[in-house]
Each structure stands twice: as structure tokens, then as C-alpha cells.
Amino acid sequence: MSEPAERGRFGEFGGRFVPESLIPACQEVEAAFRDAWADDRFRAELDELLTVYAGRPTPVTPARRLSAELGLTLLLKREDLAHTGSHKINNVLGQALLARRMGKRRLLAETGAGQHGVAAATAAALLGLECVVFMGERDIERQAPNVRRMRMLGATVVPVGSGSRTLKDATNEAMRRWVADTAEAYYCIGSVMGPHPYPWMVREFQRVIGEEARGQVDRVPDVVVACVGGGSNAAGTFAGFADTGARLVGVEAAGGAAMTGGSPGVLHGHRSMVLQDAHGQIAEASSVAAGLDYPGIGPEHAHLGATGRATYATAGDDEVIEAVHRLARTEGIIPALESAHALAWIVRNASDLAGLTVLMTLSGRGDKDMEMFQ
């Protein structure tokens, strides 16, 4: 999991499939990121913010009671304890610093579960930038607490009523706005998707998860598990263990399983595995978790799956909700519905994992989902 090949490719996946009008903007972002990532002062400023503002490092917590019930050793990488309540802040602080370095005045962001929108609004407030967040109308309804947080932080939330009114459509609208506003706006993508350099850049900003976790465990875990929508928390986690013997497992929503149920295609500026019909029309995804309600997956995940370095599985809505309750009642931790997909897979496969050490990235806290359980 290093720099992609020429033209931003991970094997046959990735690339830059955008309108000609956006090519210069993508090239500008790539040049700025390469320059910043090679600048010790930029890296030091980001590291300081991750420490004194975002609260890193986040701990690895042994889930002792649940481990005893399942017959394995379950370790939780606690991204839910980072500022704003999820891993999203790691990436957004990096991109917001980059936007300011490039002289941009505003951040454009898409969001599904709302955590990326909250993180973008937070970083914008911290650095004195404007922030516009595009969010599907359906997600606005089911993630109302995060909408209120974004607005309190000063962001403008733009409802998107087209299509399925979820993350896919919010991303469409954010990219359209970027086309019209490249001079002053920076598109702050929330996952390892989009045109090059975004999948690579977001993974690098999220790499801190895996690198921290690797230094926090006594030995390399047998299995490393994370939920996957676009897949940024999983990519960041896997980056810390890709060169080890750990088995890497990404868990998708059963209704949005692009890796396990899709085929190669182009979506939102990159080539990856996507849900589509026989004519190449993108199909709608569905999930109880707004953050996994996406018909594609990041191109590096598609490559990891194609080469066999990582495996991908699914979890259904009912078992995910049960996993939320189980972790809450055994460990006093309420996970986000997204993270609970990874936990549901572990619970379902506990007999096969017996005696093994399993590291799971708990990518976000469940406060935002409480209305789903009422």
C-alpha cells in the first residue's frame, strides 16, 4: 500500500475519469499534495493538530467480556474517541491544511452518515474557511443530530433530493459545484474514492490508524477487520498491516456490496467495483447505516481484493443492529452502525476465529444513530 502507479492506478483500478474541465483542478490538488507531503513543516503541523486537537493517539481497547463470550481475543482500535467522534477528522485536518496552503477559501464536502460533514465543518471553523456540505435528503432525516452539529459549526448544509437521496447523489452534487468553483473551492472528499490523487491522499491521511495500532499491540493480530463503504477507515487500518501476515477483512453492507456483488465500472471519477445493471447504469445501494449506503468501493480496495491480499464480506441490517446492542451491553461502548458491520462479521464467524487475536477498527461512535433505535 504505497504510491499508486502511473495515472493513479492500483492495478486495473483507480485513475482519473472526470470532465475535461476538472483535469486541471485534480492536477493542482496532486501537485499541492506531493509538495506538502514532502514538507516537514506541513507534516509537523498536521501531527500537532492530530495530537493536541484531535486527541491522537486513540487507544486499542481489549473487549474482555465479549472476547470471553466469543472465544477469541477482540481488540478495538478506538477511532470513536477522536474529536468529532470518528476517524474522519484525521483526513479532514490534512485536506483542510492543504486547502489553506493552496489559497482556497471554502471546503466542499459530501456526507452520508454526517461524520465527514461534521469533521469538515469542524476543520473549516478551526482554520477560518467556509464550508458547504452536500447531503441527501434521506440521510438528513436519519442523521439529524449531525446536521445540527454541522450548522452549529457554521457550515451550510445543502439538501440533495435527486436519485436515492443518499451519499451517491450528494457526491454527484458536490462534484458539480466543484466544476463551477475550482478557483476558490477545494473539494474535500471523505473517503478513498474519487479521481486521482484522492484515493491515495485520503489513505495516506488515514494511515495513522494502522500505524498507531501496529505499535500498540504486543504482536501482529491474526485478523484485522474494518467496515467498508468507500473504505477510508479500512484503508488506513490495512496500511499498517499490509506488509505483515495478518488476514485483512473488509465488511460491506449487504445492500451495498460493491466488492462482493458488483463488477468493474466507473463512478465518481475512478474505476473500481460498482453496483450496476447490464447496461452500466449505477444501481441503488441500501443499508441501515447511512455511511455504507454507497454503490461503489475505493479503487485500492478493489485491487486488494483482486490480488487476494484482502478479503471482503457482508453483514445484514438485522445482525448489525444486534451487534450494536451486544457491544453496548458487554463493553459499555455504543458503536456507530457502520462499525457494527465489522463486529457483526466477527460475531457470525466466531467459531472459525476461535483462539485468534482479532483487531477491529471501531471507526465511530453511535450517538448519531440513537434515533434509529427508538
Q: Where in the sequence numbering do the catalytic residues fall?
A: 88, 110, 363
The Cα diameter of the chain in Å comes to 56
Q: Sign of the C-alpha dihedral, residues 94, 95, 100, 102?
A: positive
User: What pairs with residue 185 in β-bridges?
Assistant: 106
Instruction: For residues 226 and 111, give the distance between their C-alpha atoms in angstroms, rounded to a whole number.
Output: 19
Instruction: For residues 96 and 254, give the distance between their C-alpha atoms in angstroms, rounded to a whole number.
Output: 33
Asked whether 334 and 367 are in contact (CB, 8 A), the reply is yes
Residues in the chain: 374
Instruction: For residues 258 and 230, give the distance between their C-alpha atoms in angstroms, rounded to a whole number.
Output: 10
Cβ contacts of 106 within 8 Å, gap of 6 or more: 124, 129, 130, 131, 132, 181, 184, 185, 186
Instruction: For residues 5 and 203, give the distance between their C-alpha atoms in angstroms, rounded to a whole number.
Output: 15
CA distances from 185 to 29, 99, 130, 225, 296 (A): 11, 8, 9, 35, 25
**Residue 114 in grid coordinates:** 454526517
